[in-house]
């Protein structure tokens, strides 16, 4: 291992502080008794307890979770089947490049453009059916659309690791289609499917732009709630809520790392 130069070390530490100082500031404010302003007045956890009384916040939290769970479930199912379709059949070169493009568009396209185009489409579909009124269904569809690609990419790279010979060995040992799928392919794909689902779930929790464009009056999510509140003026409750969200992110990240480490080991 190489020791890094003191200047490099100093720059690196500065950068990490640069990333965390704002968040630490918010965390400090969330336990500050001062109702407004940024001056330290004393320690309290009141703001956290107040969150539990705020129906708006609880509602937003519920919406966030519902959106993430439903969209992740749909995207994981569709993305996994798509990944199998892409990598387990002898497609020609043209089909393969078409499929690659389809997977890459949602990954590279700016989310604001995707959101804008969906606003237009749902605007037109609304004339046909009120299902497409701004709200949860639109948001779920929007989230699934970018999640599918991420799930399919992750599962596909996992499938590439499962050699053809393992599949053939299963056949050679008398496995029928269904038995092979259940006993060999699915268990071997599972780490990829779980990783893809976790990625999709996090992307959904993290999304602001699509939800912002597609949400209706009853489908506020936490990021939308925080955004709206911040524009009105920050309050200690918002600091407390944000700090909680960051803590949940930490737990998810550490959990995901544990999971992937276990899979590699």
User: Is residue 197 near another protein by the rule CB under 8 A?
Assistant: no
Q: Return the residues of window 202-241 that contact another protein according to CB under 8 A.
A: 202, 205-206, 208-209, 212-213, 222-223, 226-227, 230-231, 234
The H or E element spanning position 80 is: helix 55-87
Give CA 160 to chain center in angstroms.
24
| Per-position x/- string for 60-99, each x denoting binding to another protein as judged by CB under 8 A, each - no binding | -----------------xxx-xx-xxx-xxxx-------x
CB-based contact 198:256 (threshold 8 Å):
yes
Tokens for 136?
């949860």
CB-based contact 130:175 (threshold 8 Å):
no
Give the side-chain half-sphere CA count within 13 A for 15: 6
d(CA 242, CA 31): 12
User: Is residue 48 near another protein by the rule CB under 8 A?
Assistant: no
Among the listed residues 261, 256, 143, the one whose alpha carbon sits nearest the alpha carbon of residue 200: 143
Among the listed residues 163, 205, 159, 259, the one whose alpha carbon sits nearest the alpha carbon of residue 60: 205
Q: Return the residues of window 116-145 that contact another protein according to CB under 8 A.
A: 116-121, 123-124, 141-142, 144-145
Count interface residues toward another protein (CB under 8 A). Answer: 107
> Is the Cβ of residue 23 or residue 160 nearer to another protein in the bound state?
23
> Is the Cβ of residue 218 or residue 263 nearer to another protein in the bound state?
263
Q: Return the residues of window 6-35 that contact another protein according to CB under 8 A.
A: 7-9, 11-13, 15-16, 18-23, 25-26, 28-29
User: Is residue 253 near another protein by the rule CB under 8 A?
Assistant: yes
The single residue among 52, 55, 94, 110 that binds another protein, judged by CB under 8 A, is: 110
């Amino acid at each position: 291992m190489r020791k890094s130069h003191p200047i490099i070390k100093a720059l690196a530490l500065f950068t990490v502080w640069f990333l965390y100082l704002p968040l630490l500031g918010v965390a400090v404010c969330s336990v500050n008794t001062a109702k407004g302003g940024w001056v330290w007045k004393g320690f309290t956890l009141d703001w956290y307890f107040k969150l539990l009384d705020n129906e708006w916040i609880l509602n937003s939290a519920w919406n966030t979770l519902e959106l993430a769970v439903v969209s992740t479930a749909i995207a994981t199912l569709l993305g996994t089947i798509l990944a199998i379709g892409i990598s387990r059949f002898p497609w020609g070169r043209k089909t393969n490049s078409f499929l690659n493009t389809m997977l890459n568009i949602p990954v590279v396209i700016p989310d604001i453009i995707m959101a804008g185009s969906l606003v237009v489409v749902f605007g037109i579909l609304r004339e046909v059916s009120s299902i497409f009124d701004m709200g949860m269904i639109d948001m779920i569809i929007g989230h699934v659309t970018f999640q599918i690609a991420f799930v399919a990419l992750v599962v596909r790279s996992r499938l590439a690791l499962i050699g053809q010979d393992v599949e053939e060995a299963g056949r050679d040992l008398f496995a029928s289609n269904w038995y092979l799928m259940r006993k060999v392919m699915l268990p071997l794909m599972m780490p990829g499917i779980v990783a893809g689902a976790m990625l999709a779930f996090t992307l959904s929790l993290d999304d602001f732009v699509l939800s912002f464009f597609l949400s209706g009056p009853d489908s506020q999510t936490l990021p939308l709630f925080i955004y709206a509140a911040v524009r009105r003026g920050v309050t200690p409750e918002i600091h407390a809520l944000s700090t909680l969200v960051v803590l949940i992110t930490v737990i998810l990240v550490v959990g995901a790392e544990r999971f992937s480490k276990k899979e590699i080991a």
